Amino acid sequence: MTRDTDLRVGVDIGGTFTDLVMINDGTVTVEKTPSTEAQERGVLTGLDQLTESASTSLSDIEFIAHGTTVATNAVLEDEWADTALITTDGFQDALEIGRQARPDIYDFQTEKPTPIVPRQHRYTVPERLTAQGEIDTPLDEDAAETLATKLENTEIDSIAISLLFAYENPIHEKRIKEILIENDIDVSYSLSSDILPEIREYERTLTTVLNAALKPVMDRYIGNLETEITRAGVTTDLNIMQSNGGIITASAARETPVNTLLSGPAAGVQGATYIAGLSDVSDIITMDMGGTSCDVSLVRDGTPTVSRDVTVGEYPVHTQMIDIHTVGAGGGSIAWIDEGDALRVGPQSAGSDPGPISYGKGGDRPTITDAHLILGRLDPSLFLSNEVTVDIAQVRKRFETELAGPLGMSVETTAQGVIDVANASMQRALRVVSVERGYDPREFGLVAFGGAGPLHATAIAAALDIPRVIIPQTAGVLSALGLLISDTIYDFSNSHVRGWDEVSPETLSTMFTEFISEGRTQLDAEGISSDQMSFERSVDLRYAGQSFELSIAVPPGDIDIETLSAIESRFHDAHEQRYGHVDETNPLELVTVRTRARGSTVKPDLTVTTPEISTDVSDAITETRSVWFNDEQHKTPVYDRSRLPPESIFSGPAIINDSESTTIVRPGQTAEIDTYGSIVIELDS
């Protein structure tokens, strides 16, 4: 592989395994270790194993990036800090009222999410700004002083301050924080004008409150992790992946943990986008199937789809995130029979401990992994690690007792049914990010990764008529690799709601200049050279009277009247593409101004060389065994992926084994190994 002067390490924690990738002078080393309840322990174990495998030491690491699920788990499990909310008089219940929309309009029993901050900890102060940010009612500082006295007698760990129209003018939010600090209210603070200075009162308040509730949790975790890895010998600073696909410092992640809610999955999308680009494929759907869940996302023209309307758990979070849809289908997902005698799979997972039956660690519930084992798709002798002895007879017995017997089917038919049910769930997820967004999956490639993704990808692609599947060389740990190819990114935004005809080139230029200055300062502080910096400008526009807007890229160069005209034209084109209609006579409205500051990282060259021990495809065959496809057994060659030379071409059925994952090539499909070691599978027409 390639030359990369820094010794770089990526660490991604999943629900079942913690994945690690090291790139050192062109050599890629990977490691997987079971995730632990205290995540930092799994990270340390993996780092020790990784450096031992690479014959190096922790002190040699020059860059380390981490994809974390700490914030996500805290939201899903309601395990956050005791938080208070301070808002404008009369808006105490905005957090609870939320929006009128219900998840299911026909479900009259549906309940809104439990407010993160209970009512007794939601406080108000007299003050008011106009929609243009002018002071209508000055802040009542005496009321703020009284509020400080009340807060002294609470067990609050964090405070969110979200005032009406603070995105236009943060003066009152900042003054309230000053007063509380002057009164020795020693907690962490989150201001909406810092976290999300954008319109929509409920979403802005919710996102600010969520950030406040997560700050002590993330601060504690990152602090513990930094202490432990430093004690173990790591001398470089820790970096964290954001939900938008960019790397930030650990200190920045501590301040804005809400930006890390999709940290790990975002790294996987970045890695998949990079690998697909090496194969000259720019339109892809990514599929990351691990032990617990499957995450899917759409990439168009080499750029992951970014959304500001992503729901995490029950809460709509309005920070910029890669648009990822998750379903509870992973290798450890448990198969079960519901009250109507229907076969179901997931969302419950056996995790890593005890794990599937085949792990031999006490698991007794049939899982997707066990189903693949019964169908001959996994090799018991190479299963997981040399420390695991697979008892196939026990797996078959549990399938017979738990599923096949009650359903009146054979063990093999039941195992195929488990796979089919899981595949159907993942097919629906792929439709959500493609068909439901107006994209035809037949025009995309499918990049599958994670420990279980390559086992399912070709069947799912066939069902959706996706013509090509790409399995990266490091498929089982691609999210960890994605951490090492991702750029440093800081997003800046500010809502400035005005009629488009009221916006002057000077006003827009001034706002962009301020954002670029902030971004340059941040990137400078991280030692990023000016030639690695770039700044991407955009504006959110809508037709006057619309409720939602479209983000439009601003052309490069100075902003003048022609630039504004070009932006307007781009908006009309984007609106027609998204909604199928356009009205150029309707006046436009500016909503939000945005800038993305990017510090580019050096991408590794993943070119592989022909293995010395293998010059022909047939040399990579380790055995031929009977494997079930479509309720029929097929004599299937099994390939050792490490022995397949570039430009190898062979037809299915085939099983391809490597140390992190197993790939299935179905009958009628053709596989080729490209220059970068990816398996490119062409489906039959």
Cα(348)–Cα(226) distance, integer angstroms: 32
Cα(453)–Cα(661) distance, integer angstroms: 8
**pLDDT: is 313 or 242 the higher one?**
242
Residue 52 has pLDDT above 50, yes or no: yes
Over range 516-522, report the average pLDDT: 96
Q: Which helix (H) or strand (E) holds 303?
A: strand 303-304
Average predicted confidence (pLDDT) for the chain = 90
| pLDDT for the residue numbered 573 | 93
| pLDDT for the residue numbered 613 | 58
**pLDDT: is 75 or 517 the higher one?**
517
Tally of CB atoms within 10 A around 666: 20
Residue 607 has pLDDT above 80, yes or no: no
Q: Which two tokens stand for residue 440?
A: 């035809």
Question: What are the tens digits of pLDDT across the range 260-271?
Answer: 998 888 999 999
From residue 147, alpha-carbon distances to 95, 116, 139 in Å are 19, 20, 13
Question: Which residues are 137's β-sheet partners?
Answer: 128
* Amino acid present at 236: T
**What percent of the chain is predicted at pLDDT more than 90?**
69
Pairing mode, strands 468-471 and 188-191: unpaired
Over range 487-496, report the average pLDDT: 95
Residue 103 has pLDDT above 80, yes or no: no
Over range 200-204, report the average pLDDT: 93
Query: Please, what is the Cα angle at 253 between 249 and 257, to 5 degrees?
Result: 165
Which CATH number among 3.30.70, 3.30.1490, 3.10.20, 3.80.10 corresponds to the domain 488-599? 3.30.1490
Cα(333)–Cα(344) distance, integer angstroms: 10
Closest CA to 586 of 572, 567, 570: 572
Enumerate the H helices of 233-284 as residue ranges.
250-255, 263-278
Question: What are the tens digits of pLDDT across the range 219-231?
Answer: 999 999 999 999 9
Pick from 353-362, 475-484, 615-624: least confident: 353-362
Pairing mode, strands 158-162 and 188-191: parallel
Preceding amide of 347 cis, omega within 30:
yes
Pick from 121-130, 372-381, 553-562: least confident: 372-381
Residue 390 has pLDDT above 80, yes or no: no
Residue 685 has pLDDT above 70, yes or no: no
pTM: 0.88
Residue 633 has pLDDT above 90, yes or no: yes
Question: What are the tens digits of pLDDT across the range 528-555?
Answer: 999 999 999 999 999 999 988 999 999 9
Over range 153-163, report the average pLDDT: 94
Residue 3 has pLDDT above 80, yes or no: no
Cα(220)–Cα(525) distance, integer angstroms: 24
Cα(143)–Cα(150) distance, integer angstroms: 11
Residue 4 has pLDDT above 60, yes or no: no
Residue ranges covered by each domain of the chain:
83-219, 333-419, 488-599
Q: Which two tokens stand for residue 8?
A: 């770089």
Residue 96 has pLDDT above 70, yes or no: yes
